[in-house]
Amino acid sequence: MAESAGNIPDTIEQMAQDLAAQLEEQSIENPVMVGIHTGGVWIAEQLHNKLNIMEPLGNLDISFYRDDFTRIGMNPQVRPSKLPFSIDNQHIILIDDVLHTGRTIRAALNELFDYGRPASIMLAVLVERGGRELPIEANVVGCRMTLGSNEQVKLIGPDPLSLEIQQSP
């Protein structure tokens, strides 16, 4: 049920086309892009280049913004977030690797709003796997997967990128 490593470049290319179409449809000309550590940043780097976005790529480490870190544990490699632009009144394309419960995206939105008030936020994810706990939906989805309750999908990378199904503890 996993996306093969050979298909990820094609999937990212399709995501870039879908994002470009949505930006055009909404008359958004100069968006900024932000990837969520770590897999979202890997995807964002490629999409950023394909869409020829002028502003530098931003990245978020949402570890301190998660509402479930007491349950899942704190990431021992917390990195500082880097937003090399003002987000006030910006149209932001937020990129993550896997959309599952929605909690990572909620944390990313909380952090972004701590930096200012964007004009809009568009969400693109490589994999949508269902199991939402919060009402969050991606604007652009690379692929959808159906996994068992004891399975997780993990993006391995950065070069080459591949998806791996893992059994949950």
What are 27's two structure tokens?
A: 């008359």
What is the rounded distance in angstroms from the CA atom of residue 124 to the CA atom of residue 156?
A: 18
Say if residues 126 and 117 touch (Cβ distance below 8 Å): no
- Burial profile 99-113: b = 16 or more Cβ within 10 angstroms, e = fewer: bbebbbbbbbbebbe
Looking at the domain that runs over 5-167, which CATH code has it been given? 3.40.50.2020
Per-residue tens of pLDDT for the chain, all 169 residues? 344 444 999 999 999 999 999 999 999 999 999 999 999 999 999 999 999 999 999 999 998 776 655 554 555 566 789 999 999 999 999 999 999 999 999 999 999 999 999 999 999 999 999 899 999 999 999 999 999 889 999 999 999 999 999 998 7
Separation of first and last alpha carbons in the chain? 20
